[in-house]
Amino acid sequence: MSNSSVQSVDRAIAILEILASKGATRVTDLAVELDVHKSTAFRLLNALEQGGLVEQSGDRGRYRLGFGVVRLAGAATAQLDLSKESREVCRRLAEDVGETVNLAVPQDGHAVNISQVRGPSAISGHNWVGQRTPAHATSSGKVLLAFGALPLPRELVRYTPATIVTVEGLGLAEIRERGWAGTVEELEVGLNAVAAPVRGSDGSVVAAVSASGPSYRLTAGRLPEVGAILAAGAREISQRIGYYR
Q: How far apart are CA 114 and CA 104, in angstroms?
A: 6
Q: Which residue has the higher pLDDT, 108 or 162?
A: 162
In whole angstroms, what is the distance from residue 87 CA to residue 237 CA? 9
For 47-95, write each residue's pLDDT tens digit.
898 888 888 876 667 888 887 776 666 555 555 578 787 889 999 999 9
Q: Report how far Cα 26 is from the mean position of its chain's Cα atoms.
A: 36
Q: What is the pLDDT of residues 124-176, one digit of tens each?
A: 556 767 788 999 999 999 999 999 999 998 899 999 999 999 999 999 999 99
Phi, psi dihedral angles at 36 (to 5 degrees):
-130, 165
Query: What is the pLDDT, as a whole number, of residue 207?
Result: 95
Q: Do domains 3-65 and 78-240 have the same CATH topology?
A: no
CATH of 78-240, one of 1.10.1740.10, 1.10.150.530, 3.30.1490.20, 3.30.450.40: 3.30.450.40
What does CATH list as the number for 3-65? 1.10.10.10
The residue ranges of every structural domain in the chain are 3-65, 78-240
